Amino acid sequence: MIAKKHILYAVILLFVPVFLKAQPGPGYWQQRVEYTMNIKMNTDTHQLSGTQHLVYYNNSPDTLKKVYYHLYFNAFQPGSMMDVRSRTISDPDRRVGDRISKLKDNEIGFQHIAWIKQDNVPVTFKIEGTVMEVKLNKPLLPKAKAVFDLQFNAQVPIQIRRSGRDNSEGIAYSMTQWYPKIAEYDFQGWHAYQYVAREFHGVWGDFNVSITIKPSFTIAATGILQNPDKIGHGYGQGKTVADATSSELTWNFIAKDVIDFAWAADPDYTHTQVQVPNGPVIHLFYQKSEKTEATWKKMEDTSVKVFQYLNEHFGRYPFNSYSIIQGGDGGMEYPMCTLILGEGKADGVIGTMAHEVAHSWYQMALASNESLHPWMDEGYTSFASAEAMASIMGMPNPHTGAYQSYFYLAKSNLQEPANQHSDHFNTNRAYTTVAYSMGEVFLEQMKYLIGEENFYRGMKAYYNTWKMKHPSPNDFIRVMEKVSDMQLGWYLRYWIGTTKKIDYGFGVVTDKDGSTYVEVKRVGEFPMPIDLMVTYKDGSQQLYYLPMNELMGVKPATLGANRIVSDTWPWVNPSYVVKINRKLSDIESLEIDPSQRMADINRTNNKIVLSEIVPFQNTTK
Ligand SMILES: [Zn+2]
């Protein structure tokens, strides 16, 4: 249906200029960093030493008297907060367990800071756990910049989670959260959280990183390699490992407009590249073996398709390069790259790749504070990668699993509100379900509230308004409100701020003067608008829509759908009576939300087949 497609494109083109001009409000500001780091990696002692030159721009309206840095490697020491948390939480991540408590001196991680200077003058600092507080000599005024220089020496821990050395798949170095990283300061103040288990937040800026290492190692990293011809290793036409005569090689990477810098190094990496049409070059780094080869070959093709799908539906990937790196542990997203496990079942590895690639949209472009709002990064990423993989694999209903996992949590006694710091959930299970599944359901359910077309238009508008910035939950909701012309703050407050549940069912069904009166009941505390499908005995169907007044609007009807919009349902009313203009004996069945996008925790009361439920007929007049 080419003609129809052209009309659609014309409509989209009319909208595009509006979105490209979209900007955050005039009061929005964000800090900026420019890092230059020179790193020397000693592969015998597993220690690195480095200098860091950081230009820090205070774009806030505040005068800063202190700054904070994260020193994440300090978490990998017996007795650290990460260790204690893992040993005391009721459902620990089995990959961590009590492993930190057993690390020997030459296996722990640490970050030692030799000195720090502010504008060439030494400053005092204090380290507690994974956070360093630096007292400024000179207050940093609004709209001013400071230059911080420091020297550090670090030991790479045995890999426990994400970063570390010599993991179970035999990758030498997974270098993530590896350098002294200045904490984010925003409208909520400092985000100098102790590293306990998960999630990060970063300042937007540029990285220029030089890493000196033995020439046998291949490095994969955030950014673009600046000296490929000197390096070789599959990057350029330069010398190969075999004819490298020097005892070390210096790799120089530059990344612009990113929130972090990650790298990995291994002497046995195979490096291949594929090109996404009109998109980035994808670099793949893995240890070739019978456990990896077929999967990583297949991944070349699938990763291209994932990028194409996400570009088309959620906005254009903002960089021209992306690296998929075997890091040997789970999967974790970083700017312009990911570290994922390399072995295991192909479906699992490739599914993980798709998830981490989707983080390039939901975290590496739309850098929400994932510590405070993990559902905005894990949930949105799960949503986008599920849709991409379902489309590529030709599978229906990509979000069913997320609903099931939410229902499971909602029926347990472990559910907690989503709007808390991701490290502070009582259980890992509650965190995981809230962040991944409830975040995914939040979006799928948004389609139910505002309609599919508004939803995808909104996702692109969100991307174009907030990419390379730090959107908050409210910023997302405001975009969706503007696109749909509906009021959605209540939905954010209920779904993210509370553990209230959605449950609708039927009350009394009566017959009077040739019409049928159907009572719909709000059983749960969470109000929603209702799609009610009436199926007649002659096989025809009629959709009724019961708007809920907090929305202050009516979603557009699905194209071609035969829909009647009823009067508004005030959210305080526990029940509502719909008038159907046909007699009861014509009706075969009644169903609430036939699309099953509303996260109704009890679907057993959502449908009644009238012939089966005799007591409901003509019970009252
Ligand atoms: Zn994720």
Total Cβ atoms within 10 A of residue 11: 11
User: Residue 371 Cα, ligand 1 centroid: separation in angstroms?
Assistant: 12
Predicted pLDDT of residue 335: 97
Model confidence at 560, pLDDT cuts 50, 70, 90, reads low
User: Residue 362 Cα, ligand 1 centroid: separation in angstroms?
Assistant: 9
3-state secondary structure of 392: helix
3-state secondary structure of 536: strand
Q: What is the pLDDT of residues 144-165, one digit of tens each?
A: 999 999 999 999 999 998 899 9
User: Residue 483 Cα, ligand 1 centroid: separation in angstroms?
Assistant: 27
User: Residue 516 Cα, ligand 1 centroid: separation in angstroms?
Assistant: 49
User: Residue 161 Cα, ligand 1 centroid: separation in angstroms?
Assistant: 14
The pairs formed by 581-585 with CB atoms below 8 angstroms and a separation of 24 or more are 581/514, 581/515, 582/514, 582/515, 582/516, 582/536, 583/511, 583/514, 583/515, 583/516, 584/509, 584/510, 584/511, 584/516, 584/610, 584/617, 584/618, 585/511, 585/537
pLDDT, mean of residues 380-399: 96
Cα–Cα distances in Å, from 356 out to 151, 361, 363, 541, 606? 32, 10, 10, 42, 36
User: Residue 428 Cα, ligand 1 centroid: separation in angstroms?
Assistant: 15
User: Residue 468 Cα, ligand 1 centroid: separation in angstroms?
Assistant: 18
Rg over alpha carbons for the chain, rounded to the nearest Å, is: 27
User: Residue 385 Cα, ligand 1 centroid: separation in angstroms?
Assistant: 10
Predicted pLDDT of residue 245: 65
* CATH (one of 3.40.50.10740, 1.10.3720.10, 3.40.50.300, 1.10.390.10) for 387-497: 1.10.390.10
User: Residue 177 Cα, ligand 1 centroid: separation in angstroms?
Assistant: 16
Measured distance CA(413)–CA(416) in Å, rounded: 9
Q: Taking the mean position of all CA atoms in its chain, how far away is CA 69?
A: 23
User: Residue 480 Cα, ligand 1 centroid: separation in angstroms?
Assistant: 23
User: Residue 11 Cα, ligand 1 centroid: separation in angstroms?
Assistant: 33
Total Cβ atoms within 10 A of residue 574: 9
pLDDT, mean of residues 156-183: 94
User: Residue 185 Cα, ligand 1 centroid: separation in angstroms?
Assistant: 23
Predicted pLDDT of residue 2: 38
Predicted pLDDT of residue 558: 81
Q: What is the pLDDT of residues 71-94, one digit of tens each?
A: 999 999 999 999 999 999 999 998
User: Residue 97 Cα, ligand 1 centroid: separation in angstroms?
Assistant: 21
User: Residue 360 Cα, ligand 1 centroid: separation in angstroms?
Assistant: 10
Q: Is the pLDDT of residue 423 over 90?
A: yes
Predicted pLDDT of residue 539: 94
Q: What is the pLDDT of residues 101-144, one digit of tens each?
A: 999 999 999 999 999 999 999 999 999 999 999 999 999 999 99
Cβ–Cβ under 8 Å, residues 168 and 325: no
User: Residue 431 Cα, ligand 1 centroid: separation in angstroms?
Assistant: 13
Q: Is the pLDDT of residue 244 over 60?
A: no
Q: Is the pLDDT of residue 304 over 90?
A: yes
Q: Is the pLDDT of residue 618 over 60?
A: no
Measured distance CA(360)–CA(322) in Å, rounded: 9
Q: What is the pLDDT of residues 186-240, one digit of tens each?
A: 999 999 999 998 878 899 999 999 999 999 999 999 999 999 999 988 887 655 5
Ion ligand 1, residues whose Cβ is below 5 A away: 378, 381
Predicted pLDDT of residue 241: 53
Measured distance CA(266)–CA(64) in Å, rounded: 41
Percent of the chain with pLDDT over 90: 87
User: Residue 379 Cα, ligand 1 centroid: separation in angstroms?
Assistant: 8
User: Residue 199 Cα, ligand 1 centroid: separation in angstroms?
Assistant: 9
Q: Is the pLDDT of residue 503 over 50?
A: yes
User: Residue 359 Cα, ligand 1 centroid: separation in angstroms?
Assistant: 6
User: Residue 365 Cα, ligand 1 centroid: separation in angstroms?
Assistant: 14
Predicted pLDDT of residue 612: 76
| Residue 536 CB contacts under 8 Å (≥ 6 apart), including other chains | 542, 582, 586, 587, 588
Model confidence at 559, pLDDT cuts 50, 70, 90, reads low
User: Domain spans of the chain?
Assistant: 387-497, 504-616
DSSP assignment string, 87-115:
HHSSS--TTTTTTGGG--TTTS-EEEEEE
The token pair at 522 is 């709000």
User: Residue 369 Cα, ligand 1 centroid: separation in angstroms?
Assistant: 13
Q: What is the pLDDT of residues 6-54, one digit of tens each?
A: 444 444 444 444 444 567 888 999 999 999 999 999 999 999 999 999 9
Q: What is the DSSP letter of 585?
A: G
Measured distance CA(261)–CA(317) in Å, rounded: 18
User: Residue 471 Cα, ligand 1 centroid: separation in angstroms?
Assistant: 17
**Summary mean pLDDT of the chain:** 93
Percent of the chain with pLDDT over 70: 93
Looking at per-residue confidence, does 9 or 325 come out higher? 325
Q: For 340, how many CA atoms within 13 A lie in the half-sphere containing its CB? A: 27
∠ CA 616-619-621 to the nearest 5 degrees? Answer: 130
